Amino acid sequence: MKKPVKVAVTGAAGQIGYALLFRIAAGDMLGPDQPVDLHLLEITPALGALEGVTMELNDCAFPLLNKIVQTDDPNVAFKDCDYALLVGAMPRKQGMERKDLLSANGGIFGPQGKAINDHASRDVKVLVVGNPANTNALIAQQNAPDLDPKCFTAMVRLDHNRAMSQLAEKTGAHNTDIKNVIIWGNHSATQYPDIHHATVKGKDAKPQVDDAWYTDTFIPDVQQRGAAIIKARGASSAASAASAAIDHMRSWALGTPEGEWVSMGIPSEGSYGIEPGVIYGYPCTCKDGKYEIVQGLEINEFSRGKMDATDAELREERAAVEHLFS
C-alpha cells in the first residue's frame, strides 16, 4: 500500500463538499491504491455540520481513508497538503453573474493562498472551484510567492464535461465517443466552448453538426448551463461540480490518455496570444503530475474573437482584485 497523501478541502460542509468527500475517500480521485488523509476546512459556525459529515465519512469505513482533520484554521488545513481543493465560497443566486461574487468571495482566497504558501507541500496541486474560480485562483496564487505559479489552477472541467455531453446527445453518440473539446478562457458566460478540434467516434466533430446549432445553441447552452441548473434546482450545481473536480485532479495527478486532452484553467504564459498571468482555460495534457498546454492548434477568425473576449473579461476581473495581491 502507498503512503497516505494529504488532501485539503475547503467548504467541506457545503453542498459540493458533501458530494466530493465521499468520492475522494472511495479512491475515485487518486486511484484505488492511494490512501488519503482528509484535511477539512470550514468557517467556525459550520464546524458542527462538519462534525456530522466526518461522522458519516467514518461510518463508510472506507479502506483508503486514513485520517480526518477538521479545522477552522487554514494554517492547520493546508499543513503539508499535497492536494488542495478550494471549494468554500458563496454560490451565486438566480440573476447574478459569477463575477458578482468577487466582492463577497475574493477576500477568502488571499489568506488561503498565504496559508498554502506557508504550509503546503512545495509541489501542491491546487484546484479552485469557488466562484469566480479563475480570478479566485489568481488571488490565491498571488499570495503564494514562494510556490511555482503553476501549482494554482481553476476548474473549467465542468464546462468541458457539459460540452462533451451536449455534443454526444446531438450526434447520437456516447460521451466516451467524444474527444478533445476545449473550454477556452473564463468559467463564466464568456467562456468559449470550441469543437473545431474535437472528434466524434474518431471523425472530425465540426462537419457532423450544422453551423447554426454550433453558434446559436451549443455555445450559449454550455455558457449558460450553470444558470439553467440554478433555475431548475433552485441551487447551483453540486454533484456535477464535485465530479468535475474529481476529474480535474485525477487527470492532473494520474495523467491523460495518449492523444487526448482536457480543459484546465491555468496561468497563461502568453500561449495563443492570451494575456500573460490570467488564469485561462486551455487544452492540456498531463503526465507525471505535470500539465502542459496543447500547442499549435489552428485558430480561425471566429475562435480568435471568442478567445479574445473571454481574455478581456479575465483582465477586467484581475484589475478589480489587484488590491488583494500580496
Ligand X SMILES: O=C(O)C[C@H](O)C(=O)O
Ligand Y SMILES: NC(=O)c1ccc[n+]([C@@H]2O[C@H](COP(=O)([O-])OP(=O)(O)OC[C@H]3O[C@@H](n4cnc5c(N)ncnc54)[C@H](O)[C@@H]3O)[C@@H](O)[C@H]2O)c1
For the annotated binding site for substrate, the residues are 92, 98, 131, 162
Whole-number CA gyration radius for the chain: 19
Min CB(104)–ligand Y separation in Å: 9
187 is catalytic: yes
Of 52-60, 81-89, 201-209, 233-241, which segment contacts ligand X by CB under 6 A?
233-241
Which of 39, 119, 174, 187 is labelled catalytic?
A: 187
Question: Measured between alpha carbons, how far is residue 51 from residues 4, 21, 23, 44, 63 in Å?
Answer: 22, 13, 18, 12, 20
Min CB(89)–ligand Y separation in Å: 4
Q: Which member of 86, 198, 229, 274 binds ligand X (CB under 6 A)?
A: 229
Which residues are 265's β-sheet partners? 154, 281
Min CB(95)–ligand X separation in Å: 11
- Alpha-helical runs (H) found in the chain: 15-26, 47-59, 74-77, 102-119, 133-142, 157-171, 211-213, 219-223, 225-233, 239-254, 301-321
Per-residue interface string for the shown chain with ligand X, residues 126-155, x marking contact by CB under 6 A: -----x------------------------
Binding of ligand X at residue 98 (CB under 6 A)?
yes
Return the number of the residue (92 or 306) whose C-beta is nearest ligand X: 92
Q: Which member of 10, 237, 268, 285 binds ligand X (CB under 6 A)?
A: 237
Min CB(178)–ligand Y separation in Å: 19
Amino acid at 284: C
What's the CA gap between 55 and 279, in Å, rounded?
36
Q: Pick from ligand Y, ligand X, none: which does 263 bind, CB < 5 to 8 A by kind?
A: none
Q: Pick from ligand X, ligand Y, none: which does 87 bind, CB < 5 to 8 A by kind?
A: ligand Y
* Residue showing cell 464568456: 190
Amino acid at 154: A
Return the number of the residue (70 or 237) whose C-beta is nearest ligand Y: 237
Q: Count CB neighbours of 319 within 10 A.
A: 8
- Grid cell for residue 239: 454533484
Return the number of the residue (88 or 91) whose C-beta is nearest ligand X: 91
